[in-house]
Amino acid sequence: MGLNLVVLVKQVPDTQNITGDAMKEDGTVNRQALPAIFNPEDLYALEAALTVKDLYPGTRVNVLTMGPPPAVQVLKESLYRGADFVALISDRRFAAADTLATSYALKCAIEKIGNYDMVFCGRQAIDGDTAQVGPQTAEKLGINQITCVSEINNIDTDKKSVEATRSIEGGFEIVKSGFPVLLTFTDEGYVPRPPSAIRMLSYKNASTEVSTEAFDESYMDGEMSGSAGNNLQLWDIEAINADVEGCGLSGSPTKVKKIMSVVLTSGDIKMVDNDMGGIAEMVHELIADHTIG
Amino acid sequence: MSTKNTVMVFIQQDDGIVADVSLELVCKAKELAGELGAKVSAILAGDKLDAEAKRVISYGVDELFLVEDKRLAHYTPVPYTKVVRDIIVAQQPQIVLYGATTTGRDLGPRIASNLKVGLTADCTDLQIGDHKIKEQLYKNILYQIRPAFGGNIIATIVSPEKLPQMATVREGVMKIVEPDASYKGKITKVDPKLEDGDFLTEIIKRVREEKRVNLKGAQIIVSGGIGVETRANFKLIEELAHVLGGEIGASRAAVDAGLVSQPHQVGQTGTTVRPRLYIACGISGSIQHRAGMAESSKIIAINSDPDAPIFQIAHYGIVGDLKEIIPQFIKAYKAKA
């Protein structure tokens, strides 16, 4: 028997591979130089869903992302890997959403899909590292959660339950929960599959067509687009029946007061000769100031 | 404002033992409460926790809400959310703090989502200050300070409009003070309102190993990166650490390459350390690594690449082959000490 799965993904700036170009002269980060990527742990969540689909034919994998129009790229990549349906939740009124407002919009979109068995997402996104959106969405849906899952061990389709291994400090837990349940995944237990060339070709035209239509014009006038049955859709606030007050800035209790770039301070580095004389002098200084005994 | 003037801490227990991070937070809460003229309260849930409750109080808790139920012995999300939420609603603290552990980061977001209040993840500092939104001035609110964007920025977050202001706080960053066994705090027992239907998670197996690697408590750490290249070379790192009486650390790249095991990892996804001396050998110094060790009192960087970013935060820099430099370091130390 097939299951109905929802996977939440995010497009993020690649903060993990900061190289020469990405650092400005003053030691701060040049965000423009960072490529936008599929949030790494979300790829593991998608892989977990596709693995379930492989095991239980008839399973439907729905992928949702919230973000500006270019975020459609992670949806296309999801289709190329095997997703059945994808939707971009995008509306100017979602702008400046914190994790609470984000989880509210995601909850509305998940309820639009309806009748789901499990919701999968990455444990956290590399731009914020909060790990909050998963649990906040589960609470809003009123369902159980299993966070930090490395792997799904077993699914019982008759009893409608899942058993998973989750990572905890210094070890692991094996836990079981009935459906519906939300799982957040770490990058430990799966190997994300590459995009399928055949699927890329078959979706290439379809998605381009939809994206021109839905992600340029209709985004501007906030109109719903994409015909029924289309497997790539754009959903705005009205499409997911969300209350405007709960979205974007007005639905976000946290405000950023101040941002400080981490500037690399070169301070007073003492270069030491890489010979016995230089090293011995340094050791002597460290003993003299009681750094080493 | 109907809010009671308290700073509340969620006390995490694992197998009946209170987590260190919770005690660190009680100490920080005491400090914040001092500035606010407030009291410190705490929530402890589990089974048979009388002795631990008293121990928590000795760190400076004025009122501890103790929830005892066999079914709460181990943390699971839904029942804990209900219990903690109900106490917060009844007590109306102005601040609630959680450890940024697997448990705290599982629970905190659910509470925030339920109460529709703000929550800042993984804070490394908390301060009290004022904030203006439009024309309204909010006095004595919580500044929630955390690294973001892969550690490239430090953000100060505020959430004064809806109370309580909540944060999860990274383990090991708040100083723990000596407990005072005579501290007068009250234990208030709370009966949980739970139904069988709340217990949706069944824990089948739980395996925890005590950390044998003690990076957090180490005064001297000798760390190896991908520049160490081989396991055989890594022996040099171990030898230097042994000679200096220090602990062995590593960068994520070294762990990923299998040079050393994960518990040794220093950095954003590993352990945050602030030793007296940190020796980085063959570590280029990615933002993620530096986020976990930049607070070290003294840093020595040994690297063959003179442009490695690690030199930008080091106090001593040695450019060259660590296979030659480390043995000389050991020799020089043995000769002097």
Task: Test B122 with A129 for CB contact under 8 angstroms.
Answer: yes
A35 preceded by a cis bond (ω within 30 of 0): no
Beta bridge mates, A82: none
Chain centroid to CA A115 = 22
Task: Confirm whether B203 is domain-assigned.
Answer: no
Task: Confirm whether B63 is domain-assigned.
Answer: yes
pLDDT tens-digit series, residues A173-231: 999 999 999 999 999 899 999 999 888 887 766 543 444 334 433 333 333 333 334 78
Nearest to B325 among A265, A271, A274 (CB): A274
B314 touching A, CB under 8 A?
yes
Chain centroid to CA B234 = 28
* CATH number of the CATH domain containing B42: 3.40.50.620
Tell me the angle at which helices B231-244 and B322-336 cross, rounded to the nearest 10 degrees.
20
- Give the mean pLDDT of A30-48: 89
- Give the mean pLDDT of A82-90: 96
The confidence score (pLDDT) of residue A68 equals 92
Q: Which residues of B touch A167 (CB under 8 A)?
A: 102
How sure is the predictor about B63, in pLDDT bands with cuts at 50, 70 and 90? Answer: very high
Do residues A157 and A3 make contact, with C-beta atoms less than 8 angstroms apart? Answer: yes
Q: Are residues B158 and B239 in the same domain?
A: no
A282 touching B, CB under 8 A?
yes
Helix (H) or strand (E) holding B250: strand B247-250
Task: Confirm whether B323 is domain-assigned.
Answer: yes
How sure is the predictor about A3, in pLDDT bands with cuts at 50, 70 and 90? Answer: very high
Would you state the structure tokens that stand for residue A145, as one six-digit string? 């959660």
Nearest to A131 among B121, B144, B277 (CB): B121
A157 touching B, CB under 8 A?
no
Higher pLDDT: B84 or A269? It is: B84
Task: Test B276 with A271 for CB contact under 8 angstroms.
Answer: no
Highest mean pLDDT among A49-63, B137-151, B209-223: A49-63
Task: Test A29 with B122 for CB contact under 8 angstroms.
Answer: no
Q: Are strands B136-148 and B125-133 parallel, antiparallel or unpaired?
A: antiparallel
Q: Which residues of A touch B132 (CB under 8 A)?
A: none
Domain count across chain B: 2
pLDDT above 60 for B103: yes
A263 touching B, CB under 8 A?
no
Task: Confirm whether B232 is domain-assigned.
Answer: yes
Closest CA to B277 of B248, B300, B250: B300
Would you state the structure tokens that stand for residue B29, as one six-digit string? 């809460």
Q: What does the mean pLDDT of chain A come to? A: 86
Nearest to A259 among B78, B122, B155 (CB): B155
Distance CA A85, CA A11 (A): 17
A277 touching B, CB under 8 A?
no
CA distance B3 to chain A (A): 17
Do residues A288 and B274 make contact, with C-beta atoms less than 8 angstroms apart? Answer: no
The three-class DSSP label of residue B241 is helix
- Give the mean pLDDT of A83-94: 95
Q: Considering just the CA atoms, what is the radius of gyration of chain B in Å?
A: 23
The confidence score (pLDDT) of residue B174 equals 86
Distance CA B239, CA B331 (A): 11
**Model pTM score:** 0.81
Residue with tokens 């998605």: A207
Task: Report DSSP letters for chain A, one per residue.
Answer: ---EEEEEE-EEE--S---GGGB-TTS-B-GGGSPEEE-HHHHHHHHHHHHHHHHSTT-EEEEEEESSGGGHHHHHHHHHHT-SEEEEE--GGGTT--HHHHHHHHHHHHHHH-S-SEEEEES--TTT----HHHHHHHHHT-EEEEEEEEEEEEETTTTEEEEEEEETTEEEEEEEESSEEEEE-SSS--PPPPPHHHHHHHHHHHHHHHHIIIIIHHHHT--BS-TT-SEEEE-TTTTT--GGGSGGGG---EEEEEEE-PPP-TT-EEE-SSHHHHHHHHHHHHHTTS--
Task: Confirm whether B204 is domain-assigned.
Answer: no
Helix (H) or strand (E) holding B248: strand B247-250
Task: Test A170 with B211 for CB contact under 8 angstroms.
Answer: yes
Q: Are residues B89 and B123 in the same domain?
A: yes
The confidence score (pLDDT) of residue A210 equals 42
Domain A4-251, CATH: 3.40.50.620
Q: Which residues of B touch A28 (CB under 8 A)?
A: 152
Tell me the H-state helices in B207-298: 231-244, 252-256, 287-291
Do residues A184 and A131 make contact, with C-beta atoms less than 8 angstroms apart? Answer: yes
Q: Are strands B39-46 and A4-9 parallel, antiparallel or unpaired?
A: unpaired
Q: Which residues of B touch A268 (CB under 8 A)?
A: 315
Task: Report DSSP letters for B182-224, one per residue.
Answer: T---EEEE------GGG--EEEEEEEE-------TT-SEEEEE
Q: Which residues of A touch B208 (CB under 8 A)?
A: 168-171
Task: Test B113 with A135 for CB contact under 8 angstroms.
Answer: yes
Q: Are residues B127 and B16 in the same domain?
A: yes
Q: Are residues B176 and B242 in the same domain?
A: no
ipTM for the assembly: 0.84
Q: First CA to last CA across chain B, in angstroms? A: 62
The confidence score (pLDDT) of residue A21 equals 63
Q: Are residues B133 and B279 in the same domain?
A: no
Q: Are residues B162 and B260 in the same domain?
A: no
Do residues B281 and B322 make contact, with C-beta atoms less than 8 angstroms apart? Answer: yes
Task: Report DSSP letters for B155-171, one per residue.
Answer: EEEE--SSSSEEEEE-T
Would you state the structure tokens that stand for residue A265, as one six-digit string? 């301070």
Residue with tokens 């935060």: B313
pLDDT tens-digit series, residues B17-51: 999 999 999 999 999 999 999 999 999 999 999 99
Distance CA A179, CA A159 (A): 9
Q: Are residues B116 and B242 in the same domain?
A: no
Q: How many residues does chain B have?
A: 337
Number of inter-chain CB pairs under 8 A, A vs B: 249
Q: Are residues B35 and B122 in the same domain?
A: yes
In one-letter notation, the amino acid at residue A256 is: V
% residues pLDDT > 70 (chain B): 97
Q: Which residues of B touch A131 (CB under 8 A)?
A: 105, 109, 121
Q: Is the dihedral of CA B16, B203, B255, A132 positive or negative?
A: negative
Higher pLDDT: B237 or B151? It is: B237
CA distance A53 to chain B (A): 24
Q: Are residues B117 and B231 in the same domain?
A: no
Nearest to A29 among B110, B152, B209 (CB): B152
Neighbours of B308 (CB within 10 A): 21
Chain centroid to CA A288 = 50
* CATH number of the CATH domain containing B316: 3.40.50.1220
How do the domains of chain A map onto residue ranges? 4-251
A139 touching B, CB under 8 A?
yes
Angle at A119 between CA A113 and CA A121, to 5 degrees: 120
Task: Confirm whether B275 is domain-assigned.
Answer: yes
The confidence score (pLDDT) of residue A216 equals 39
Task: Confirm whether B209 is domain-assigned.
Answer: no
Task: Test B118 with A98 for CB contact under 8 angstroms.
Answer: yes
How sure is the predictor about B214, in pLDDT bands with cuts at 50, 70 and 90? Answer: confident
Within 185-244 of A, beta carbons closer than 8 Å to B belong to none
Residue with tokens 């009291």: B39
Distance CA B60, CA B184 (A): 8
Beta bridge mates, B166: B96, B119
Q: Which residue of B has its CA nearest to A130?
A: B121
Chain centroid to CA A203 = 22
pLDDT above 90 for B120: yes
pLDDT tens-digit series, residues B246-256: 999 999 999 99
Q: Name every residue whose Cβ is closer than 8 Å to that of residue B247 and which is 6 or more positions away in sequence.
A: B213, B214, B215, B218, B220, B221, B222, B241
Task: Test A265 with B313 for CB contact under 8 angstroms.
Answer: yes
CA distance B260 to chain A (A): 16
Which of the residue ranges A19-28, A38-47, A68-77, B324-333 would you say has the lowest mean pLDDT? A19-28
A103 touching B, CB under 8 A?
yes
Q: Which residues of A touch B204 (CB under 8 A)?
A: 163, 174-176
Q: Are residues B230 and B165 in the same domain?
A: no
pLDDT above 80 for A24: no
Domain residues for the domain of B240 are 220-336
Q: Are residues B132 and B167 in the same domain?
A: yes
Best interface-test mutation with A: which of B76, B81, B84, B113 has the largest number of A CBs within 10 A? Answer: B113
The confidence score (pLDDT) of residue B274 equals 83
Distance CA A62, CA A8 (A): 9
Q: Which residues of B touch A261 (CB under 8 A)?
A: 152-154
Nearest to B312 among A264, A274, A275 (CB): A264
Task: Test B205 with A174 for CB contact under 8 angstroms.
Answer: yes
Task: Test B152 with A15 for CB contact under 8 angstroms.
Answer: yes
